[in-house]
Amino acid sequence: MADFPVIDLGKLNGPERATIMAQIEDACANWGFFELVNHGLSPEFLDTVERLTKEHYKECMEQKFKEQVASKVLEGAQAENTETDWESTFFLRHLPQSNIYEVPDLKDEYRKVMKEFASKLEKLAEELLDLLCENLGLEKGYLKKAFYGPVAKGPTFGTKVSNYPPCPKPELIKGLRAHTDAGGIILLFQDDKVSGLQLLKDDKWVDVPPLRHSIVINIGDQLEVITNGKYKSVLHRVNAQTDGNGRMSLASFYNPGSDAVIYPAPELVEKEAEEKNQVYPKFVFEDYMKLYSTVKFQAKEPRFEAMKAAAVAPIATT
């Protein structure tokens, strides 16, 4: 099997541009995941983000995790627990409105750094969407525009801050159970020392190798719909680890606005597929998320089918 794709974005504006664009195309079409280096966020800045995230976990989250998750999951556990994840998380929303000053227990320095982190990642996400447009033959800005709702509130963007502490019984519980991501494009800054993230490729679980100061990118369900399956969201999971100091991961989700209408780009729909009714559905993003929240850990195909059925036979609400 080919190696997990690592792409040097720093070379994009040099003589190797065509090669880099081809690597991005291959990664999107065949992996649904890739790792970016020289992406514009400096190593020093990422070290600060990592340090503050780990300090915050120790000071404000660890005790709660032990009381609320660890004790519940491990008490007398014999069989595999398929209902809970071995993770400690909180969520920072950046767009359409930031909640960073409302989240309790964050130090001023951490708030400030995370605000800067979000704004750099937002810019990177939008740059990437335009690179995808170029590879797909869509006009520049198409994907960003597709994420805007009719009242142009813009995309939703947020960061799930997760810590995966060492787990004494990894055979009984996953760090995070297998799923595809619902949204648009996901940018992940993960711990550089502890692994655990895996994706499903050709029916085999493949490690996403921890690579210092890289950003892992993956495709969400909405990009699969807009590209009409040219790019696919891919199942991934996190295995709990027994040793070390635990793993940190910051997953930032650049998603459509809640009222955005999502549908395949007409340029990417072939006539034959249309005739055979093999085209992805059209729906309001919020409706997809309502469904996703109840079936996140199940296969995505029935979700697409359900959205298709809902579009064909709308349920009367009056």
**Number of residues in contact with Fe ion under rule CB under 5 A:** 1
Beta bridge partners of 177: none
Give min distance, CB of 36 to Fe ion, in A: 17
φ and ψ of 279, to 5 deg: -100, 145
Give min distance, CB of 183 to Fe ion, in A: 9
Q: Which residues 156-185 are close enough to bind Fe ion by CB under 5 A? A: 181
Q: Which residues 117-156 are close enough to bind Fe ion by CB under 5 A? A: none
Give 53 or 233: the residue with its C-beta nearer to Fe ion. 233
Give 144 or 296: the residue with its C-beta nearer to Fe ion. 296
Q: Concatenated DSSP letters for 248-311? A: EEEEEEEE--TT-EE---GGG--HHHHHTT-SPP-EEHHHHHHHHHHHTTS-SHHHHHHHHHHH
Give 149 or 175: the residue with its C-beta nearer to Fe ion. 175
**Nearest residue to Fe ion, using CB?**
181
Give min distance, CB of 303 to Fe ion, in A: 15
Give min distance, CB of 11 to Fe ion, in A: 28
Give 35 or 181: the residue with its C-beta nearer to Fe ion. 181
* C-alpha–C-alpha distance, residues 32 and 24, integer Å: 10
Beta bridge partners of 35: 6, 216
- Distance of alpha carbon 288 from the chain centroid: 16
Is the CB of residue 240 less than 8 Å from the CB of residue 196?
Answer: yes
In sequence order, the 6+-apart residues with CB closer than 8 A to the CB of 18 are none
Bond preceding residue 96 cis, omega within 30 of 0: yes
Which three-class secondary structure state does DSSP give residue 45?
helix
Is the CB of residue 200 less than 8 Å from the CB of residue 235?
Answer: yes
Give min distance, CB of 176 to Fe ion, in A: 7
Give 235 or 261: the residue with its C-beta nearer to Fe ion. 235
Give min distance, CB of 197 to Fe ion, in A: 9
Give 85 or 114: the residue with its C-beta nearer to Fe ion. 85
Is the CB of residue 118 less than 8 Å from the CB of residue 252?
Answer: yes
Q: Which residues 49-88 are close enough to bind Fe ion by CB under 5 A? A: none
Give min distance, CB of 188 to Fe ion, in A: 8
Q: Does residue number 221 form part of the binding site for Fe ion (CB under 5 A)?
A: no
* C-alpha–C-alpha distance, residues 259 and 97, integer Å: 15
Give 149 or 155: the residue with its C-beta nearer to Fe ion. 155
Give min distance, CB of 181 to Fe ion, in A: 4
Which three-class secondary structure state does DSSP give residue 55?
helix
Give 11 or 296: the residue with its C-beta nearer to Fe ion. 296
* C-alpha–C-alpha distance, residues 199 and 291, integer Å: 23
Q: Which residues bind Fe ion (CB under 5 A)?
A: 181
